Structure 1
């Protein structure tokens, strides 16, 4: 068993001191620091071309990945294991005037002793057992574990019957430009060095799943994530004649009531369930005050997947939108009737019916109706819209749909369903391939060997419950499912693009063995030292050696 606790702890503290907040210059600073550190190891001084620092591709920001590899000398196998970990963290606005302490873990823990914090966190203010600070849990302790193992195997290549690759990527907390760019390097090394990628180990954080949960979790595969978005076209009216139109906000409210927190939209696989969807943003599209109701509104939701494909999700969500639309119309009709009873006015009915289209369906209708005029106009519009730097991928897509709606001849109320952001593919370790079986066997063997050396249960589950860059090393969706992502994202090919074929080329089974702690992304973020700095590196080492063992 490796005596690694203090080394990983000290390295974690060093990494925390570097402010590598996503979408800031700090990402680049940490990347260069890591490159310098790895380059100083004796193995990489002798093999300087085995470590690279490379700028991300198709990225509006200047930031870098660091990748390195060790070629084993125990045998002649080309089997290769990838260790994955991200360098960036979320921001520190939650620290307010104490921001500087976020990057000084020892000083921060000392200061917290005099602060009013929850009892559970107070009990962890023991520097021998816990470490606080931004990135301590998510995930600089995991990155430190990977760096320790890279250095260890670089000093002991005779223990590797195959190869070990480290990927330290940026931008995990936002757009995943880092890992998507790293695929290019992994593909190049596969060709240049004949690497046969047989398994990958991510080292992102794990946490309790419920209050009092004693387990430390390891995950085989990961949850998928979509951002289904709904453009809602109402029927504009003056507020003095409210029942002559329908406010799109009214439809949006019913839609959110139908979708958010709906257990029917929890996706089950292997007895595990995703969390239900929840709204992340909801707004109308009025830019100024008027006494007219809005023409349009939008809402988008976080949507997790275990087994559903993006194509299946569209069908499911379209049905939910149709239910919500009908309920909104029924509710409006009832309110109108009650109003007429109060005033003595004649009830003339609600003239609309539910209309729900996917973006692909609407686009097909408009191409059929208007041909090249529509195609060329939208192409020009999307290119011009790229110059508006205030628009992220989500608002860009919404603006495209809003523009396309103007071409609809039938302007009766409707809901348009589309995707407006990055799709994180779900990854399942099914055991159907030799690589998956080998990785699963290696994991089970490692857990058996390590469970008696640690006081809490180590439990293996099927789906990492948080979005992560694991999604971009393997892909469980077929090409038809991915095509639904492309044809239903209005920004595809202009503001947004992902080379899912590159993921399919690497397509290496992935598990997550990561540090354990609490309050990730929060002011009291903290990591448990014994498990994270000692058990995790040893578990990871055992898995690596088992996968590469030729016996």
Structure 2
């Protein structure tokens, strides 16, 4: 039987088919995708006789992570090919939403109607060198390339094992990869695999607007979501100094958190983005003239080497500073109005609040209260996190006014294999192949700046800082957990080599065709051969 996914035209057709399988996060298409993919793999003779080498792992909400193993009899050395198949939504396409998953048709529309596009995107469309569509760049081309590698390994009987892993939910909470980690560990033990490399296929992301450089990555940045519940003392709006609003408290912490350099890290010239507030909302259910006593904020913090424990320590220091300023200003207002101030503005972390509740009531009552919130509230994990803390504070209002610090999902630890000998060799091979074969330059970066599922492998076996996350994440063990111990056992090197494209998550998302269908297959083949 001839090759299905080898030639330039075959790869483009495969990508267009995968893109046409609408798999927006949280939709039925995301649920259906791995079953369609299984049918594609079963067209290969190898998987007709090795049916057990395809496995699906439960990622919750009927979603499945997909794995397919090509196993050589010559070696235990293994490369894990990692990707995700979910995409973000298509609302920004407006009247073209129906074409967002029809890459060829959408590209033609943009070529014939360039007024839809920015000047740069217009030039790219008219050049004929790009393919537009949701998922073309982020990241169904990565999966396409990995399918190509699997077929070539089978046809040519490569003396290396390839374990393809593609997951749902990367764009939201990483539930797919969190399910895949124990699955990969299970497969590696059952099949006696020696995993040497986790090779992700995320595309090259720009470092700044209009960046035309093609990057490969020897690591991936970390992301953590410190959250704060602000619990004030309610009063009538006509008597404002008889209480303190949650919004008064939140304004000070957000002022101190946004753009602070206190979390900043630099590694070989690469610096983390500054923190920003991703969401700030009132928990008050309806409008009236009683002041709001509970609100929350979520802050985006990017890490390179910091653990959850490090982040919480800095978050606590910043919150203490913010509430000190808040109280100072509040007392000045009270003094000016000749009103006695409230006694204290507490800062405590979630674990302290939980311990206080247990001392006041009991562990059983705490568990029952938390479970009641989880069962009653059909909201996303971020808001549910805050609502658990809010419910505990409702029974401990003597602590108010208070700012309660915690972590909300997702948590993605940073990972970096830049100093690994194998990775150094692969970087050199990639750059040399692109230069010698295509007169094309690629640049290595230590950290992929788009966050990726590589965060859940190669976790430092000596790092116990994750305990701080566990202790201060209200949803831990309920609807969210991270398999840290399994991650520590998946200790192979990591790398990300993917295609060049532009404008991920925008209407103008597009993929450079020659780079994807001609250059990348050659490069990835050469990279894998380094492990032969």
- TM-score exceeds 0.5: yes
1:355 aligns with 2:312: no
How far did residue 479 of structure 1 move? 4.7
- The runs of at least 4 consecutive aligned structure 1 residues that moved more than 6 Å come to none
1:472 aligns with 2:448: no
- 2:246: which partner in 1? 248
How far did residue 425 of structure 1 move? 1.5
1:221-253 deviations in Å (ceiling 9; x for gaps) = 111111111011112222222223221101112
Q: Unaligned regions of 5+ residues in structure 2, if any?
A: none
Between 1:486-495 and 1:43-52, the stretch displaced more is 43-52
Q: Conserved in 2, the CA contact under 8 Å of 1:132 and 1:524?
A: yes
Between 1:80-89 and 1:95-104, the stretch displaced more is 95-104
How far did residue 131 of structure 1 move? 0.5
Q: 2:367 aligns with which of 379, 383, 394?
A: 379
Between 1:508-517 and 1:449-458, the stretch displaced more is 449-458
Q: Unaligned regions of 5+ residues in structure 1, if any?
A: 341-345
- 1:5: which partner in 2? 8
- 1:540: which partner in 2? 524
Distance in 2 between residues matched to 1:301 and 1:288, nearest whole Å: 25
How far did residue 321 of structure 1 move? 1.1
Between 1:95-104 and 1:382-391, the stretch displaced more is 382-391
1:91 aligns with 2:89: yes
Secondary structure, aligned partner of 2:321: helix
Within a 5 Å distance, the mapping from 1:258-297 to structure 2 comes to 258-297=256-295
Secondary structure, aligned partner of 1:187: helix
1:373-426 deviations in Å (ceiling 9; x for gaps) = 331111111222232251222222212111222343633411110012121121
1:325-382 deviations in Å (ceiling 9; x for gaps) = 1222333345556xx4xxxxx5346445442111122323343x32xx3311111112
Q: 1:425 aligns with which of 413, 438, 446?
A: 413
Q: Conserved in 1, the CA contact under 8 Å of 2:6 and 2:148?
A: no
Distance in 2 between residues matched to 1:509 and 1:110, nearest whole Å: 41
Distance in 2 between residues matched to 1:386 and 1:193, nearest whole Å: 39
Secondary structure, aligned partner of 2:217: strand
Query: Normalised by the size of structure 1, how large is the TM-score?
Result: 0.90
- 1:36: which partner in 2? 39
- 2:424: which partner in 1? 440
Within a 5 Å distance, the mapping from 1:160-199 to structure 2 comes to 160=159, 162-199=160-197
Q: 1:173 to 1:515 in 2, by over 3 A?
A: same
Q: 1:213 to 1:479 in 2, by over 3 A?
A: closer
Distance in 1 between residues matched to 2:367 and 2:51, nearest whole Å: 46
Q: Conserved in 1, the CA contact under 8 Å of 2:204 and 2:214?
A: yes
How far did residue 311 of structure 1 move? 0.3
Distance in 2 between residues matched to 1:484 and 1:251, nearest whole Å: 24
Q: How many residues are matched?
A: 526
- 2:58: which partner in 1? 56
- 1:66: which partner in 2? 66
Q: Conserved in 1, the CA contact under 8 Å of 2:99 and 2:105?
A: yes
1:463-507 deviations in Å (ceiling 9; x for gaps) = 111222111122137452111111101111123222221222223
1:130 aligns with 2:130: yes
Distance in 2 between residues matched to 1:448 and 1:354, nearest whole Å: 60
Distance in 2 between residues matched to 1:31 and 1:428, nearest whole Å: 29
Q: Conserved in 2, the CA contact under 8 Å of 1:204 and 1:514?
A: yes
Secondary structure, aligned partner of 1:124: helix
How far did residue 545 of structure 1 move? 1.5
1:451 aligns with 2:435: yes
Q: Conserved in 1, the CA contact under 8 Å of 2:347 and 2:405?
A: yes
- 2:198: which partner in 1? 200
Distance in 2 between residues matched to 1:378 and 1:451, nearest whole Å: 61
Distance in 1 between residues matched to 2:384 and 2:362, nearest whole Å: 18
Between 1:396-405 and 1:447-456, the stretch displaced more is 447-456
Distance in 1 between residues matched to 2:279 and 2:210, nearest whole Å: 32
Q: 1:382 to 1:336 in 2, by over 3 A?
A: closer
1:515 aligns with 2:503: no
Q: 1:481 aligns with which of 453, 457, 465?
A: 465
Distance in 2 between residues matched to 1:328 and 1:278, nearest whole Å: 20
Distance in 1 between residues matched to 2:52 and 2:400, nearest whole Å: 62
Q: Conserved in 1, the CA contact under 8 Å of 2:346 and 2:399?
A: no
- 2:142: which partner in 1? 142
Secondary structure, aligned partner of 2:291: coil
How far did residue 183 of structure 1 move? 2.4
How far did residue 5 of structure 1 move? 3.3
Q: Conserved in 1, the CA contact under 8 Å of 2:418 and 2:424?
A: no
Secondary structure, aligned partner of 1:40: coil
Distance in 2 between residues matched to 1:66 and 1:241, nearest whole Å: 59
Between 1:304-313 and 1:257-266, the stretch displaced more is 257-266
- 1:153: which partner in 2? 153
Query: Normalised by the size of structure 2, how large is the TM-score?
Result: 0.93
- 1:321: which partner in 2? 319
